[in-house]
């Protein structure tokens, strides 16, 4: 009878025990967020189980959000996503800051408000600008004729290496912003004061913002890019901004995996006289 290797459990180790052993390695720091996990073949040899049992252990930890990686590829210790708390009262603060100085507007961006992570601490902070023909559903949301052009801005952020991304896409009618070339220049991002101040530079004051919140299961691309555990839906926020002339002037599509977002809505009620 072959003597088990020192520190290696005997045959009969089941998937739950293999999963528990991997959890111990993570908790003690022997495996850190972003580290690759040994292959199922290596795990099977290390813990004296067959490959199917080792694979089940890995799947269990992916389902609980401890490990990341798609089937057939490499697996690594998941980088915990930042908790995002999105409050509707933020819009009041954004509007009140529109006429503030640039230095004041620069101190409180979306990243800081939503996640508490300063821009300079982000691992990735990218933006892509393009003037494109608006998709039909965006034309409808912006009350534009089919075929109208919009300024599309896609913001992609990653708080740490190997973490899932966060992404939002904004659409503004091109004719609204074309009079100010600075608004078409991605090198001016991040813009102090954000979209409200950008619209202010072309004479537009916002009257209200309507958030439409739905949910659906992620696409395969979203699972990979956002690092979404199995079974976790995506909360999809469509933010529509209206001017004081009652015209929709911007639409933002904001998908956020449900395991990392908290939506907080405060409704101020009118007081009785």
Rounded distance between C-alpha atoms, residue 228 and residue 234, angstroms: 9
The per-residue pLDDT for 13 is 57
In this prediction, residue 197 carries a pLDDT of: 94
Its pTM stands at 0.87
Over pLDDT 90: what percentage of the chain?
77
Indicate if the pLDDT at residue 218 is higher than 60: yes
What mean pLDDT comes out for the span 259-266?
94
**For the chain, domain boundaries:** 15-77, 84-264
Residue 69, CA distances (Å) to 55, 61, 197, 201 in order: 12, 11, 40, 45
Over residues 2-22, the pLDDT tens digits come to 333 444 444 445 899 999 999
**Token output for 36:** 């690759």
- State the pLDDT confidence band at 1, using cuts at 50, 70 and 90: very low
Residue 139 has pLDDT above 60, yes or no: yes
The per-residue pLDDT for 252 is 98
Residue 5, pLDDT score: 44
Q: With pLDDT > 70 as the criterion, what percentage of the chain qualifies?
A: 92
Which CATH topology does 15-77 take?
A: Arc Repressor Mutant, subunit A (1.10.10)
pLDDT in tens, 92-135: 888 988 888 877 777 666 556 666 777 788 888 899 999 999 99
CATH 3.40.1410.10 fits 84-264, yes or no: yes
Mean pLDDT of the chain: 90
Average pLDDT rounded to a whole number, residues 254-263: 96
What is the number of other CB atoms lying within 10 angstroms of the CB of residue 15?
19
């Amino acid at each position: 009878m072959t003597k088990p290797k020192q520190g290696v459990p005997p045959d009969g180790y089941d998937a739950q025990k293999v999963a528990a052993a991997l959890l111990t390695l993570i908790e003690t720091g022997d495996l850190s967020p972003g580290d690759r996990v040994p292959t199922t073949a290596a795990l099977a040899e290390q813990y004296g189980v067959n490959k199917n049992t080792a694979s089940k252990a890995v799947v269990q930890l992916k389902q609980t959000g401890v490990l990341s990686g798609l089937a057939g590829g490499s697996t690594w210790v998941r980088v915990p996503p930042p908790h995002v708390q999105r409050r509707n009262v933020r819009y009041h603060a954004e509007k009140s800051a529109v006429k503030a100085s640039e230095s004041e507007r620069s101190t409180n961006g979306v990243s800081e408000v939503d996640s508490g992570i300063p821009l300079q601490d982000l691992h990735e902070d990218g933006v892509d600008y393009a003037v494109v023909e608006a998709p039909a559903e965006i034309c409808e949301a912006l009350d534009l004729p089919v075929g109208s052009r919009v300024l599309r801005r896609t913001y992609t952020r990653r708080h740490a290496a190997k973490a899932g991304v966060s992404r939002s896409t904004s659409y503004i009618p091109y004719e609204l912003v074309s009079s100010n070339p600075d608004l078409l220049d991605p090198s001016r991002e991040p813009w102090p004061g954000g979209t409200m101040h950008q619209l202010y530079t072309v004479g537009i004051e916002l009257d209200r913002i309507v958030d439409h919140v739905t949910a659906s299961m992620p696409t395969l691309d979203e699972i990979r890019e956002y690092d979404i555990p199995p079974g976790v839906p995506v909360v999809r926020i469509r933010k529509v901004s209206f001017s004081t002339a009652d015209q929709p002037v911007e639409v933002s599509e904001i998908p956020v995996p449900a395991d990392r977002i908290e939506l907080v809505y405060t409704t101020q009620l009118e007081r009785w006289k």
